Amino acid sequence: MTFAGIVATRIAPKTLGRSPRGTIIVARLGMFTAFMVLAFAHTNVWVVTLAIFLFGTAYTTLLTASVSVIAIEAAHGKGAGTASVYVAIALSMTSIGTAIYSAIMSGYATPEGMPLPEAFTVGYLVAGSAAPASVVCGILIKHRKPITRIVAH
């Protein structure tokens, strides 16, 4: 994930210079692809490693794009505070996602508490199911001009 984050910091500024909408849509589709690979094509450690790398790159690019759009669109002098609120909300949603995933793991567990293989498939399908809503949000973004400065998160 760390290496994926480093790669994303090289990708995000270049793609945001073209279109934040496109960056958000492509990043979310990358996350969707990673979740589907983890759900259905986890055949060996290299496939899983590449899927996790894709997820990390897409997630970091998506977060950077979202924070940059918010900071640019905020009232002059209020961008940092507005972006900080977004990061706080995103992190709280991550906690909700963790709780949902934990519930899935518990629901598909043996009496001894070990999760069954189906738990992982269901968990990644649930995580990937947010993709259509995210892609629609990316399409609905009105900000169409290229972003000239990137906000670090």
Res 136: pLDDT: 84
Res 46: pLDDT: 94
Task: Report the predicted TM-score, pTM, of the whole model to 2 decimal places.
Answer: 0.77
Q: What is the CB neighbour count within 10 angstroms for residue 52? A: 15
Per-residue pLDDT of the chain (153 residues; tens, 9 = 90+): 677 777 777 776 666 666 777 888 888 999 999 999 999 988 899 999 999 999 999 888 888 777 777 767 666 666 667 667 777 777 787 788 889 989 999 999 998 989 998 999 999 999 888 888 878 877 887 756 666 555 554
**CB-facing half-sphere around the CA of 68: CA atoms within 13 A:** 28
Q: C-alpha distances in angstroms, 80 versus 21, 60, 87, 107, 150?
A: 21, 18, 10, 41, 12
End-to-end CA distance of the chain: 16
Q: C-alpha distances in angstroms, 59 versus 17, 90, 98, 116?
A: 18, 11, 15, 27
The residue to which tokens 């060996």 are assigned: 44
